[in-house]
Amino acid sequence: MNVLVVGGAGYIGSHCVRQLLAAGHRPVVVDNLVFGHAKALPTMVRLHRVDLGDEEAVGRILRDEHIDVVMHFAAFAYVGESVTDPLKYYFNNVVATLRLLRAMLAANVKQFVFSSTCATYGVPASMPITELLPQAPINPYGQTKLDVENALKALSRAHGLSFAAFRYFNAAGAAEDGTIGESHNPETHLIPLAIDAAVGRRSALQVFGNDYPTPDGTCLRDYVHVDDLSRAHIAVFDKLSKPGAAHFYNLGTGNPTSVFEVIQAVEKATGKKVPYSVVARRAGDPPALYADSSKAVRELDWRIQYKDIDSIVASAWRWHSRSPNGYG
């Protein structure tokens, strides 16, 4: 298939590009390189440096590249920033995505794979989280993703758009060979910050609260390897050939892992101590979030290759030790 990967030079998108190539597809990338890195892409992959909201340019690319399916990873994803600057999130994550969808319909491209998030569930009433739990986001980031999910439902009914929305838990890790990985600026995610603290590239890690109602008092999250996420995006293609198909899947390993357990995994991978101090809770952090992904396992035959936090962190370490400054 000819696959347009919007945001394909970003963290998850670039891993998906690799997986698409490995599965025999032809990825073409649209990325404005605000957060993406051209260096994250193999040289044989064509990169169109345009904004996803530029309907004319995107429409031309859809037609010229004979695109069959669009994968959309290009979103702003800092929860805290979404609270202080919601318009930035509504314009990029919602308005620009609607433009992309309009360009697709105009070009008669009707298969879409969307990066959604467990943040659409807000603070769920029960755990693990199934796709059937109510969605009640507690920040604008989660709300913008839910808004797009709802728009997709309407477009599938009105225009026969087929789509899959994947609700990611905590994307983590890096390509097995360590040549691409996570490189955010600013970095806010636990695993890269803990690695940087271990090797002395940053000062001590701040652990946001150890008084949660969890076994060791720190928050539980569901870390899922970026290549496992990517493979689900490709496995869903078969389901998109039916016009108007609408699919929602949680993607996580289902293993609740605490902040202290991540620190231990980083110490194991790096062979160094992670200096840390416990500070106040971070606003908006639910005590525990982990997935029931049995629907993806059942319907997509999704096989998780990185089942435990040690293997995920070890892959992240291969990337960070090889490229201490990310893509530079």
| Residues recognised as catalytic | 141
Which of the 8 DSSP states describes residue 134? P
Q: Which is nearer to ligand UDP, 75 or 104 (CB)?
A: 75
Q: Find the shortest distance in angstroms from Cβ 207 to ligand UDP.
A: 4
Q: Does the protein bind ligand UDP through residue 190 (CB under 6 A)? A: yes
Q: Which is nearer to ligand UDP, 206 or 294 (CB)?
A: 206
Q: Does the protein bind ligand UDP through residue 187 (CB under 6 A)? A: no
Q: Is-cis flag, bond preceding 128, omega within 30?
A: yes
Whether the Cβ atoms of residue 196 and residue 190 lie closer than 8 Å to each other: no
DSSP characters over 44-102: TS-EE---TT-HHHHHHHHHHTT-SEEEE------HHHHHH-HHHHIIIIIIHHHHHHH
Place of tokens 């291969």: 318
Q: Does the protein bind ligand UDP through residue 206 (CB under 6 A)? A: yes
Q: Find the shortest distance in angstroms from Cβ 37 to ligand UDP.
A: 20
Q: Does the protein bind ligand UDP through residue 188 (CB under 6 A)? A: yes
Q: Find the shortest distance in angstroms from Cβ 203 to ligand UDP.
A: 11
- Contact window for ligand UDP (CB under 6 A) among 29-37, 126-134, 173-181, 186-194: 186-194
Q: Three-state DSSP class for 117? A: strand
- Contact window for ligand UDP (CB under 6 A) among 11-19, 145-153, 157-165, 203-211: 203-211
Q: Does the protein bind ligand UDP through residue 193 (CB under 6 A)? A: yes
Size of the site for ligand UDP (CB under 6 A): 14
Q: Find the shortest distance in angstroms from Cβ 281 to ligand UDP.
A: 7
Distance between CA atoms of residues 135 and 271, nearest Å: 41
Q: Which is nearer to ligand UDP, 150 or 188 (CB)?
A: 188
Q: Which is nearer to ligand UDP, 65 or 285 (CB)?
A: 285
Distance between CA atoms of residues 103 and 106, nearest Å: 5
Spatial CB neighbours of 294, under 8 Å, sequence gap ≥ 6: none
Question: Can you read off the two tokens belonging to residue 153?
Answer: 């439902």
Binding-site member from 65, 208, 210, 327 for ligand UDP (CB under 6 A): 208
Question: What length is written for the chain?
Answer: 328
10: nearest Cα among 65, 68, 62, 77: 77
Chain residue at closest Cβ approach to ligand UDP: 219
Q: Which is nearer to ligand UDP, 170 or 253 (CB)?
A: 170
Going from the C-alpha of 139 to that of each of 76, 89, 94, 109, 197, the distances in angstroms are 13, 11, 14, 31, 28
- Contact window for ligand UDP (CB under 6 A) among 2-10, 157-165, 189-197, 294-302: 189-197
Binding-site member from 12, 30, 75, 207 for ligand UDP (CB under 6 A): 207
Q: Which is nearer to ligand UDP, 176 or 187 (CB)?
A: 187
The region that residue 166 occupies, defined by phi over 0 for left and psi between -120 and 50 for alpha, beta otherwise, is beta
Q: Does the protein bind ligand UDP through residue 219 (CB under 6 A)? A: yes
Distance between CA atoms of residues 221 and 169, nearest Å: 8
Which of the 8 DSSP states describes residue 165? E
Task: List the interface residues with ligand UDP, window 239-298 (CB under 6 A).
Answer: 259, 282, 285
Site residues for ligand UDP per CB under 6 A: 170, 188-190, 193, 205-208, 219, 221, 259, 282, 285
